[in-house]
Structure 1
Amino acid sequence: MSVRMRSPQREQGTARPDLVPWATALLLTLVAVLVLLSLLIGTGSASVGHAWDYLAGDPGARADAQLRLAVREVRLPRTLAAVLVGVCLGVAGCLLQAATRNPLAETGLLGVNSGAAFAVVVGLTWFGVSSSAALLVWALLGGTAASAVVLLLAASGRATDSPLRLVLVGSALGATFHGLTAYVLLGTQSTFDTYRYWTIGSLAGVETADLVPLLPVAGLGLLVAFGCARPLSALGLGDDSARSLGHHPGRVRLAAAGAVSLLVGCAVAVAGPIAFLGLLAPYAARTLTGARLTAQLTLSALIAAAVMLLADILARIVLRPWETPVSVLLALVGGPLLVWIARSHRLSTAGASA
């Protein structure tokens, strides 16, 4: 009688190099199609046909001021925002799961979401913040400041040598910010009304001018993220093996956490807290790429961008003429999927190779 043994590589997901180029091409095509649909579909009076005429360069459609407002000033910015938020959360989630070696690690673990929320409440309550652009700035500053505090505490306590301790520091600080936010909101009803709209998670009202200052921040985060791919791949073999290859686990995790903070800070500033996307996109990418982290980062960014675009399109048409917050749709899909992942035999460690 023979017993078939499963290899560790099979348990963690075998890399499929033949699928990665095809998957990348397919996802790029899907994102392009969804971008077009996002420009054509909306809650306003501009129909799909009229929007298509405008995009095709029809002179009559181009002369229509209302149509130009709907396509260029409303739909185009939120389409760009959906792509930006999706790419940032997809890459950040994949990077965080690799750094912590936890396939269920979520992008809010470093305190970025709670730090951004606390900063928004402070700006609304004591600094008279009212415009969406100002809220975006406060959210970005709060998120990055919270993650900076987490990284400083982790570095000073050598917590970065343990991925679990890094997550614990982030969770503790996040809980602290959450409590402070609730305390401030208890005495300010007007602040609560504005904060409630921001924290529900939506792309409505985003303007192109709001996105431009975030592009350098997101670009830096992506650059650091892909630069961490090879060192994190070495960490997937274990800290001792990584040290023998010349890598410093603590510094690598600090760099990865810094990239995650920048990326999640940009996403939270644009759309508010978005749950599940940074968890599910890396999982889907890992089923196609195996343990190769660079391919995981690329496919995770494309998958998250496609999901974010699709969710935003559905948010405009599910409850016409009103909009459904995009975070609600993602939660309705992400919750059951997370339960299925946790109960399935596919749950595996996030081992990585370059």
Structure 2
Amino acid sequence: MAQLLTGITARTVATDRLTVNVLEIGGRSGTPVVFVHGNVSSSLFWQQAMLDLPPAYRPLAVDLRGFGDTDPLPVDATRGVRDYSDDVAGVVEALGLGPVHLVGWSMGGGVVLQLLRDFAGSVRTVTLMNPVSPYGFGGTRGVDGELLDEAGTGAGGGAANPDFVRLLREGDRSADSPLSPRQVMLSFYVKPPFKPSLADVFVESMLSTRIGDDHYPGDMVPSSGWPGVAPGGRGVLNTMAPTHFRLDDLHTITPKPPIRWIRGADDQIVSDTSVFDLANLGALGALPDWPGARTHPPQPMIAQTRAVLDRYAAEGGTYDEVVIDDAGHSPHLEKPAEFNTALREILAKG
């Protein structure tokens, strides 16, 4: 497979749930580190980070269902991200890995937190990189994730840009449109003007995303509230809707492995002023008829994550926050040395 870097191998792992594509370093053993990718991507984004780990670690990167080369089973969003986290747990069990280090990026951060929530005893450490808020993406206000309305209006499958979805479906590899996968990656996955050397590989990774109501972006239902769409029960974006995904009880788990939260200082995707948050777009005048900041303020994603992790620490856990300057949504690509140092430090604690 031309998209694999030298030293990286791919194989399929049959679990009792589905067959999962897993990247590894050929012949490597050691303490397992499981990498979980984000939305509209795949395990291919993790290759260099895997190669950068010392020989004492065995890195594995999984493709979530509907991404990469894993079975494209439908996603039941009413379970939040548990279809994904249970799939990852199934790989850990099928390979007999025992307790593992977990590394999750963006949506994958929510997946590893859910896995931690449900299977705390199987986790050595957790590394979150620019993770989705523990209250999901869109449809909430305040640090405690208060719903904008009971329907979760403003989140879910209807929040995706239809032109981006169309270009994904069409397999667009060009840079002709600002909403092409390539341009979205160069504008938002990383901080411009940074251009990844593996940009072509990453575009192919993005294009592996299955499209439709059962996959990306998912279904939606009309809502009488602004901006007129609420989460459905199927597909990717609905797994992160606040009506389906909430981790405000993370502090109740036992044991509590150490958590490191790594984020790019200039992330535009997961931010207190995210350019993908419909409420923030309304505040910026990019969506009409915004009701105003009193009822529909931008979602404070960073503040929400910090509040949940503070409670985790107050109840006996530990976490720290590492902010990488001059990086956007993908510090592992933009600042690999800084990311690798931060990752090694947390792995050493487990």
Structure with the larger strand share: 2
Higher radius of gyration, 1 or 2: 1
Q: TM-score, normalised by structure 2?
A: 0.26
Structure with the larger helix share: 1
Higher relative contact order structure (alpha carbons within 8 Å, sequence separation ≥ 6):
1
Q: TM-score, normalised by structure 1?
A: 0.26
